[in-house]
Amino acid sequence: MVLLKSIGGWASWCRYLLWQAELEGKSQGDLLDLLSIRMVWEALLRQHAKAAVLDSWRRQVRGWVFDDKRAEQEDARRGEVLLRASEIAYRRQLAASLRRQPSRRSQAKGTPRVQAAFCIDVRSEVYRRHLESVFGDCETIGFAGFFGVLLEYQRQGDRVARPQAPVLLRPQVHVEETGPKEIVERRFRRLRRGAEWKHFKLSAASCFSFVETAGLSYVGKLLADSLGWHLPSPPPDAAGLAAAERAQLHCVLPASLGMEQRLQMAASILTGLGLNRGMAKLVLLVGHGSSTTNNPHRAGLDCGACAGQTGEVNARAAADLLNDPAVREGLRAQGWEIDSSVVFLPALHDTTTDAVEILAGLDDPRLDPGLVQELQEALREAANRTRLERVLRLEPELRDPVAVAQNLLQRGRDWSQVRPEWALAGNAAFIAAPRWRTRGRNLAGRAFLHDYDATKDPDFAVLKLILTAPLVVANWINLQYYASTVDNQRQGCGNKVLHNVVGGTLGVLEGNGGDLRVGLSEQSLRDSASGLQHEPLRLSALVEAPIEAMDRIIAEAPALRQLVDNRWLSLLQIRADGSLLERRGAGDWVAV
C-alpha cells in the first residue's frame, strides 16, 4: 500500500481499469504489474545501497514501528473532536430549518400543473428553490441524474460505448446514436482534420517552427479567445456538428429491448421519482452539464450520476420511454394511473450559466401552449435569480442581472478562466425526504436533495437504491472535496495553471513530469479575494425513513456499512416532527 500511495495517481488509474473490468466480471492486471515494478525497484535500491544508507533506512523503519505514538494519537483525537464540533454546528443550523418547516398537511395543494425532476447535485438545490418561488404551481423533484436508466451510450462511428450511470453500477441497456449517415461522416471528417492539425502543431518536429512561422497570424484568435468572442468548447456529443445537424441525431432505446423490460424500467423510474401517486400534465426531466473552454477538469463539473457526462442522453432516453404509447398502455394494465395527456420533456441545466433548455417535444400537440410559455418564462426568471445568488461567490460587486448573466457566460467562454463555476464546493449534507420538508428553505447550495416518501415505498426498494448508490456517490464527492482541501499536495491536484494533459483522457500532470494528479485543484476550493470556499466536513446524511429499514439495508450492503460504521459519514433519521436521531451503531440511535 505504501508503494502504491507513493505514486497514487498512476495507482488510481490502474485501480479504475480494474474496477471497470470487475463490473464486467473480468480481471485486469495493471495494478498488480505496477506494484511488482515498484517492489523490484525497491529491492534493487536496497541491494546496491551503501551501508550508511541502509543503516539509516533500518532506523527509520524501526522508529516507525516502535516509537511512542501517544502524542500523535492524542493530536488525532483532538483533530476529530474539532472536526465533529464543526459538523454538529452545521447540522444545528440545518436541523433548525427542518423543524421550522410547516406540517405537510398545510402544504398540500393537490396535483401541481408542472413537475420538474432535477439531479440531486447541490447546484440544483439553488435553481429548484427559485423555480418554485416564481412558479408556485410547479413541484420540483430530486432524483439521481441518470433518472434510473442504467445505460451505456455509443455514438455512430465510436468503437466503444461510454457509461451513463453511476460508476458503482453496471449499465444494463446499450443505447446507440441514430441519424443520417452523411451527418455522421461529416462530423468525423471535421474531428479528424482538427486532430491532425493539433497533432502537427504540438509534435516535437514542428512545434517550434510552427510558432515562428504562424505566430503573428494567431494574434486575432488569441484576442478573440481572451475576450470570449466565441462559443465555449462543445460537449463531446456536439463536437464537429452544426446545431441543425446535431438536431437530426437521436439517442433511443434499442428495438431489442423487450416490452417487459421497458415496463419494468418505466415503473422503476416513476417509482423513484415518487410519481406513483399524482402526476402533472407536464413533467420535465432535467439533466445537467457545464459549458467551459480549455478545461481538462470538465468532467468534474458535469453529472457524477452519469459517470462525468452530461445528463442529456439519460433525460432523452427516459422521456422517450415514458412517452411511448405502448409503454403507457402496459403501465395502465398494471394499475398505474397515467393519463394519455401527460407529456414528459427532456431538458438540460447548464450549471455554468444556469440556463435550462428544453431539448425536445415542444411540438407535442398534447401540450397547452399557455402552460409551456408560462413555464419557459419561469425557467428564465429562475435562472436570473440563481445567477444573482451564485455570483456573490464569484463576482460579489455585480448586481445588475444583465451584467451577471454576461459575466457567467463569459466565464464559460474564456480559455484562461481557472474558475468557470464553484461546482460542488461547500457540499455538506445529503437529505432524502419529501419535498415539503425542505421546500422554501434556503440550504445555500450545500445539500444533495433526493426526494423520498416512505409511504410510497412499502417494500423500501427505493430506499435501498438511495442508500446504496446516490448516497455513496455523494459521499465520494464529499470526501474528494474534503481530502483536496485538507491535503491538496497529496490528495488534490495543485495549481491548475501548471497542468498538462496526459494521454488525451488519462489525467493531468502538474508541470512536465511526475505522478498523475488526483482530486481537485486549489482554484476549485479557494480564491485570493474571499479565501476558502469549501468547509471540510464529512457528509451528514439525513433520511426520513424507519430506523429498522435503514439498519437492515446497512447490514446487507458492505460498502455502505464501512462508510457508516467507520465514520466516513454521519447517518441521521428525520422524525415526523423534524427532530433528528443519529446512528451510533446497529439499533443504537441517539437524539441530537
Say if 536 falls within a structural domain: no
Q: What's phi and psi for 57, nearest 5 deg?
A: -65, -45
Q: Tell me, yes or no, whether 132 and 249 share the same domain.
A: yes
Q: Are the C-beta atoms of residues 575 and 566 closer than 8 Å to each other? A: no
Say if 468 falls within a structural domain: no
3 state DSSP class of 50: coil
Q: Tell me, yes or no, whether 149 and 34 share the same domain.
A: no
The torsion defined by the Cα of 518, 142, 436 and 375, in degrees rounded to 10, comes to 120
Domain-terminating residue out of 413, 444, 460: 413
Q: Are the C-beta atoms of residues 162 and 154 closer than 8 Å to each other? A: yes
3 state DSSP class of 177: strand
Say if 336 falls within a structural domain: yes
Domain-terminating residue out of 51, 67, 83: 67
Res 32: pLDDT: 95
Positions of E strands within 190-327: 250-252, 282-289
Res 368: pLDDT: 96
CA distance 219 to 294: 18
Say if 283 falls within a structural domain: yes
Say if 284 falls within a structural domain: yes
CA distance 181 to 116: 34
Res 102: pLDDT: 58
Helices (H), 290-394: 312-323, 325-333, 369-390
Q: Tell me, yes or no, whether 134 and 54 share the same domain.
A: no
Q: Tell me, yes or no, whether 249 and 336 share the same domain.
A: yes
With residue 459 as reference, give the H or E element that holds it: none
Domain-terminating residue out of 371, 395, 413: 413
Res 105: pLDDT: 46
Q: Tell me, yes or no, whether 32 and 166 share the same domain.
A: no
Say if 375 falls within a structural domain: yes
Residue 51 domain boundaries: 2-67
pTM of the model: 0.91
Q: Are the C-beta atoms of residues 253 and 269 closer than 8 Å to each other? A: no
Say if 527 falls within a structural domain: no
Q: Tell me, yes or no, whether 20 and 165 share the same domain.
A: no
Q: Tell me, yes or no, whether 288 and 381 share the same domain.
A: yes
Say if 455 falls within a structural domain: no
Res 20: pLDDT: 86
Q: Tell me, yes or no, whether 255 and 374 share the same domain.
A: yes
Beta-bridge partner residues of 570: 540
Any idea what the Cα angle at residue 536 is, between residues 495 and 451, rounded to 5°?
A: 115
- The low-confidence residues of the chain, meaning pLDDT below 50, are 105-106
Considering its fold, how many domains does the chain have in total?
2
Q: Are the C-beta atoms of residues 560 and 471 closer than 8 Å to each other? A: yes
Q: Tell me, yes or no, whether 24 and 140 share the same domain.
A: no
Q: Tell me, yes or no, whether 164 and 59 share the same domain.
A: no
Q: How far is CA 66 from the centre of its chain?
A: 44
Q: Tell me, yes or no, whether 245 and 318 share the same domain.
A: yes
- Enter the DSSP assignment of 512: S
Q: Tell me, yes or no, whether 33 and 141 share the same domain.
A: no
Beta-bridge partner residues of 174: 152
3 state DSSP class of 282: strand
